[in-house]
Structure 1
Amino acid sequence: MDYDLLLRGGRVVDGSGQPSYLADVAVKDGKIVELGRVRGSAEKTIDAHGLVVSPGFIDHHTHMDAQVFWDPYATSEPQHGITSIVTGNCGLTLAPVKHGDEDVILKNFVRVEAMPRHALEQGVPWGWHSYRDYLNRIEGRLGINVGGLVGHIAVRQYVMGEESVERQATPAEIQRMKALVLEGMEAGALGFSTNRNERHMREDGKPVPSRLASDEELFTLCDVLGEVNAGAFQSTLGQFTPKHFEMYNYLARRTQRPVIGQTVMYRPNAPKRWKEQLDAVMPTFRDGYRLYLRTHTVPNFRTFTLSNTQAFDEFPKWKQLMFMEIEARKKSLADPEVRQNLRADLADPRPTNFHRRWDLVTIEKAAKPENQKYVGKSVAEMAEMRGQDHLDAFLDLSLEENLETSFRNANAGGNPEAMREILQNPYVLVGNSDAGAHVRYNAEFGYGTTLLGLWARERGVLSLEQAVHKLTFQVATVYGITGRGLVQHGYAADLAVFNADTVNACEPEWADDYPAGTGRLIQRAIGVHYTIVNGKVICADGKITGELPGQVLRSSAYRRP
């Protein structure tokens, strides 16, 4: 046979943003080797007439560091045409790690990313120390391509131990951390990430280690990227402030590397913030430096229960409750005096993460049959039905159901005009899926299929070519993922084959497929026919094929051991 795979007659949207064209695509040894009118035969031929053939999508904001051990396809990513993921965001990684610190590392994931502890304990096969060891451990058993960022939290824990959550680092400790970041980059990491979000704490209530880092420490670690001339810096700093953007701007100029900052979305409690964020980034780009924001493609609905949530962590009294054991928490929530303190907390105008609009908080799932009548209603509507105050109704319903009532909080998005300007902005990266995190409450695998279906096809905010560019080559360029992100001769055959007339995301659904008997939300897609990784079909019409062609993606800083 001339080729391993041949896609016949598809509409090639090549990822560059240029107009699409009709062509056959031939693949040999995992690479695209012919484009156009291809003659010859192949081991496998796909009839792509009437379908789009594009580069596979790259999900750059995931927390799949652990999940790839028990799920080498990082599902539901392939169902949406995603062929590559970037892990290690928000400062969170599973390496480097000293023997005996494994549980400390898990404390960060359990609380910050709401991952079930039992699943992590059963599913993560510890045994590595360095970041290189971690990458070597996952290599060779992947269905999807995986690249990662070196996380500040693990680096600080490795050097300082428990003192990493108690004090600033000494100059000598900072240099030891810098050496670990350099080791990670030379192992092929795609960059470095940190976390200064004031709401992010370990499972035991202590701040994640990176929150105690001085500016000097952060700048020194980011310097590694400039020194090796590779990699991107990703950060979560919490709420938008001018000071945050001063730091982003400074680091983009200092390192001359791409900086990926906060999420930009329309927020009902801060309706002008999205515009302020876009305006804050513009001068940096004008001067020739790379500073990006990131966005969702759907309204940012955060699902939560009062058994496990960060929704109220900006409020001191609420935060104190959320770190209590469940029985003590239930007793406190029923106490009228405690409720008065909670009301006083909510009256403080300074915290902005929770909008305090009970008409935007809906009951998604009720645990008891008699409460099913509230499902789909807002807390405001439910309170009226019960003849109660909003807060009392919210807390009483939760207590009736052992704090397992599932609420859906619409805290961002939902403004089409704002989203139009955000999505069309050249320094906004699409993709904030958080895949692998908050698995019981959120599933945003379909950000790309939503971009193609809702924003490109239905609303015309972007052309098909522009939308595909944002999902592929733009991300590959920012993260230094070479040889991918384009349908071009010599590039890796990472491809998505979909119907532009029907492609879209389905509503999330529950699946009992996590370790230790725990479940999670998954998300299916419409109109995605094939997902191809390094020339092998890993997903066909939503079904995983069993092929394992995925690779570890390494940056240009990679040095062989």
Structure 2
Amino acid sequence: MLDHLIQGATLVDGTGAPSRTADVGISGGRIVSIEVAGSGSGSGSGSGSAGASGSAVSVEDATGLILCPGFVDPHTHYDAQLFWDPYATPSLGHGVTTVAGGNCGFTLAPLNPARPEDADYTRRMMCRVEGMSLAALEEGVPWGWASFGEYLAALDGHTAVNAGFMVGHCALRRHVMGPDAIGGQPTAEQLEAMVQLLRRSMAEGAWGLSTTQSSTHSDGDGRPVASRHAGREELLALSRAVGEYEGTQIEAIVAGCLDQFSDDEIALFVDMSAAAGRPLNWNVLTIDAAVPERVPRQLLASSRARAAGGRIIALTMPILTPMNMSLGTFCALNLIPGWGEILGLPVPERIARLADPAVRTEMLRRANSPEAGVFRRLADFGRYVIGDTYSAANDGLSGRVVRDIAAERSQDPFATLVEICSADQLRTVLWPMPTDNDPGSWELRRDTWQHPDVMLGGSDAGAHLDRMCGAPYTTRFLGDCLRRRKLVPVEQAVRMLTADPAGLFGLRDRGTVAVGNHADLVLFDPERIDAGPATLVHDLPGNSPRLDSRAEGVVSVRVNGVETVRDDKLTGAVPGTVLRSGRDTRTVATR
């Protein structure tokens, strides 16, 4: 007897094959039968049509609905959130059944039991670099582990999604070197200890190594995070260790990920992947027709890696995910050269400095200068949209464009923006309008998606919680493919969200709808599938805020055969698996 039978669905199986009408049977958390309408027999289960025509505990009519594999998000930061939110919201509601965490060099384990203060350091670092609520990290995470295996064990049986984790370079460095991890270089003995700790973590289930060399990544004290101090030989020693374990990967970030790689960064990525004999993925490839040289420059790393026996995968988002800004809290504006000195002042002093026309003129000069690099795109303040406001002086301004308000006040846009924010004691939420929403950029995206070393992803779900909401990219992309731009057919869109990322990580028996695979499934209405607007909610531990977005048109989500979402609402079930390297992943060839 089947546990559940889905009848008459339009099956988009994740392989890219044409859709077809099928009945899909589930038992014991796996897909046991697939009967295509009119075939008269089952598919590969050895039971003929019995799977579809036999009895089942529950049956549903899915006529007019699309059934596809659960989506795989290759770049999240749910490492902490899963402890207070086992449903990985909002990702699960948008059909994501498997998440990859532990990215960018930042993980909550391993922790050195001889230094209890390391947990506090890690919390403050995650608060600063990944925009996580410090109160949520303090109140919502148990922090009872030392080893990476103990961290994974703390999650076992308590998640609604499947979750796998890289081990962060910053945690390895801090564990071995202590405070000297910031600014110091390891001795030969310390480097060997770091390599051994990485090996132990992978033996316990870590998916591999993640690291960062990005100039934007600073710890809770404002200093470059630990892995930014690592030299080339340290990175290559760790990479070689990754290649010793089955089903492992490398994820890495450098400064050029934000714009364009330097020659040295390309060489480093190529050598790390080749040394490991494993794929290396990086986040995120920004595609903009106004910068046509960026995509070929970034993908040069991939072609050179293939020639050297490695493989480098660029993650890119299929939707525009704006990140809000603020003059009151740390954000990307602080990273513009010279701006951090002003925006780091106490609020009253900050308001006074911002009121000085000479200060604003110098800030604008630096924001528009070549030294600002990729952050120059933030300097067109007339294109900002006013979000939430907090004073009577700003009543009626939410949703309006700064350029229009400035024209009414006969001011320049930056002066207007400062005036609005100052009236709110700098609490005003600001939304930069994207500059890459033109037809040329969307055509360039469609072309770039066809490259064998480009993959959809990069949501950062679980991080920057009050700044951005990238988790809904799956449903918004499908809605776009079915009813709006229609850049790719739905079969290709589903493959890019399922089989492609599952293949990158070597996930065993996941990513496609096939007999014998785990029953990670999404059933959705093609006429309604979409994502709602991002709204600010206060539902984190400590009443901290985050942006949330509800899915539309998601009829059902199943993880390992158990329904976790029904009609866009969580069921409360937690059937997810903590995915361990080797056991749940296979080695992916780089050639």
Which residue identity lines up with residue 379 of structure 1 in the other structure? V
Farther off after superposition, 97-106 or 334-343:
334-343
Preserved contact between residue 204 and residue 323 of structure 1 (Cα < 8 Å): no
- More deviation in 460-469 or 128-137? 460-469
Counterpart residue number, 2:145: 128
Work out the CA distance in 1 between the residues paired with 2:421 and 2:374.
21
Equivalent residue of 2:136, what SS? helix
User: Which deviates more, 534-543 or 520-529?
Assistant: 520-529
Corresponding residue of 1:361: 384
Q: Which amino acid aligns with 2:282?
A: G
Deviation, 1:276, is: 2.8
Aligned to 2:94: 80
CA distance in 2, matches of 1:288, 1:503: 41
CA drift at 1:191: 2.1
Residues 188, 558 of structure 1: 8 Å contact kept = no
Identity across aligned pairs (percent)? 34
Which amino acid is 2:24 matched to?
A: V
Shift of 1:445: 1.5
TM superposition shift of 1:271? 4.8
Measured after TM superposition, the shift of residue 92 of structure 1 is 1.0
Matched letter for residue 261 of structure 2: T
Matches of 1:262 and 1:378 in 2, distance apart?
A: 30
- Residue in structure 2 matched with residue 248 of structure 1 by the alignment: 269
Partner deviation per Cα, 1:358-415 (whole Å, 9 max, x = no partner): 2332222222243243333333333222222232222222121111111112456422
For residues 110-134 of structure 1, the C-alpha deviation after alignment (integer angstroms, 9 at most, x for no partner) is 1111112112111111110111000
1:216 is aligned to 233
Match of 1:91 in 2: 105
- Structure 1, 193-202 or 382-391: larger mean CA deviation: 382-391
Instruction: Report SS of the residue matched to 2:281.
Output: strand
How many Å separate the matches in 2 of 1:238 and 1:300?
Answer: 20
Whether contact under 8 Å (2:389, 2:428) holds in the other structure is yes
Q: CA deviation at 1:331?
A: 4.0
| CA–CA separation in structure 2 for the residues paired with 1:497 and 1:142 | 21
Q: Which residue of 2 aligns with 1:151?
A: 168
Matched, 1:50 2:64: yes
Q: CA deviation at 1:435?
A: 0.7
* Distance in 2, Cα, partners of 1:217 & 1:286: 23
User: Deviation per CA, 1:51-106, whole angstroms, max 9, x where unpaired?
Assistant: 11111001111111111001000011121111111111111110011222111001
1:158 to partner: Cα distance: 0.9
Q: Tell me: CA distance 1:392–1:166, structure 2 relative to 1, closer, same or farther (3 Å).
A: same
- Corresponding residue number in structure 2 for 1:61: 75
The equivalences for 1:106-505 within 5 A come to: 106-239=123-256, 240-243=260-263, 244-267=265-288, 270-285=291-306, 289-336=310-357, 338-354=359-375, 355=377, 356-410=379-433, 413-414=436-437, 415-455=441-481, 457-505=483-531
Normalised to the residue count of structure 1, the TM-score between the two structures is 0.94
Contact 2:510 2:520 (C-alpha < 8 Å) held by counterparts? yes
Deviation at 1:558, TM superposition (A): 7.9
How far has the Cα of 1:258 moved from its partner?
0.9
Q: Structure 1 359/273 Cα, relative in aligned 2: closer, same or farther at 3 Å?
A: farther
Question: Closer, same or farther in 2 for the Cα pair 1:347/1:142, shift >3 Å?
Answer: closer
Which segment drifts farther, 431-440 or 449-458?
Answer: 449-458
The answer as to whether partners of 2:159 and 2:575 remain within 8 angstroms in 1 is yes
**1:89 aligns to what SS in structure 2?**
coil
Counterpart AA for 1:109 = M
Q: Secondary structure at the match of 2:209?
A: strand
CA distance 1:372–1:269, shift in 2 (3 Å) = farther
Seen in structure 2, the aligned counterparts of structure 1 residues 554 and 457 have a Cα distance that, compared at 3 Å, is farther
3-state DSSP class of the match of 1:64?
coil
1:32 equivalent in structure 2: 31
- How far the C-alpha of 1:456 sits from its partner, in A, is 5.0
One-letter code of the match for 2:502? A
Q: Which moved more, 1:264-273 or 1:139-148?
A: 264-273
Aligned match of 2:8: 9
Question: How many Å separate the matches in 1 of 2:334 and 2:288?
Answer: 18
**1:495-537 Cα shifts (integer Å, max 9, x gaps):** 0111223312211122221111122111111221100001100
TM-superposed CA distance for 1:351, in Å, is 1.9
Q: Which deviates the most, 246-255 or 546-555?
A: 246-255
**C-alpha distance in 2, partners of 1:334/1:453?**
44
Match of 2:41 in 1: none
Name the CA distance, whole Å, in 1 between partners of 2:382 and 2:364: 17
Task: Kindly state the Cα deviation for residue 422 of structure 1 after the two structures are TM-superposed.
Answer: 2.3
Matched length: 558
Output the amino acid matched with 2:386.
I
- 2:289–2:444 Cα contact (<8 Å) kept: no
- Contact (CA 8 Å) 2:382, 2:414: kept in 1 or not? no
Aligned residues of 2:269 and 2:301 also touching (Cα < 8 A): no
Supply the distance in 2 between the matched residues of 1:59 and 1:104 (Cα, whole angstroms): 28
Which one-letter code corresponds to 2:341 in the other structure?
A: Q
Q: How far has the Cα of 1:270 moved from its partner? A: 3.8
Instruction: Provide the secondary structure at the position in 1 that maps to 2:32.
Output: strand
Alignment check: 8 A CA contact 1:311 1:353 kept: no
CA–CA distance in structure 1, aligned partners of residues 292 and 541 of structure 2: 41
520-529 or 355-364: which moved more? 355-364
| Structure 2 segments unaligned to the other structure (5+ residues) | 36-48, 586-591
Matched residue type, 2:128: R
More displaced, 482-491 or 127-136? Answer: 482-491
Q: Distance in 2 between matches of 1:279 and 1:147?
A: 29
Q: Residue 515 of structure 1 corresponds to which residue in structure 2?
A: 541
Which residue is equivalent to 2:43? Answer: none
Runs (5+) with no aligned partner, structure 1: none
Equivalent residue, structure 1, for 2:42: none
Aligned to 2:562: 536
Deviations 1:323-353 (A, max 9, x none): 4444443344344554344234224212223
Task: In structure 1, give the amino acid aligned to 2:183.
Answer: E
Whichever residue aligns with residue 225 of structure 1, its letter is: V
**AA aligned opposite 2:450:** Q
CA distance in 1, matches of 2:526, 2:450: 19
Residue 274 to residue 386, structure 1, CA distance change in 2 (3 Å)? farther
Per the TM alignment, residue 281 of structure 1 is displaced from its structure 2 partner at its CA by 2.6
In 2, the alpha carbon distance for the partners of 1:369 and 1:268 equals: 41
Secondary structure (helix, strand or coil) at the match of 1:154 reads helix
Q: Give the CA deviation at 1:171.
A: 2.3
SS of match in other structure, 1:107? helix
Which piece of structure 1 moves more, 121-130 or 35-44?
A: 35-44
CA contact (8 A) 1:483 1:492 kept: yes
- The alignment partner of 1:157 has SS state of helix
Q: Distance in 1 between matches of 2:227 and 2:129?
A: 13
Question: Structure 2 vs 1, CA of residues 176 and 329 (structure 1 numbering), >3 Å: closer, same or farther?
Answer: farther
Q: For 2:332, give the aligned amino acid.
A: A
Q: Conserved in 2, the CA contact under 8 Å of 1:424 and 1:461? A: no
- In the TM superposition, what is the alpha-carbon distance from 1:440 to its structure 2 partner? 1.1
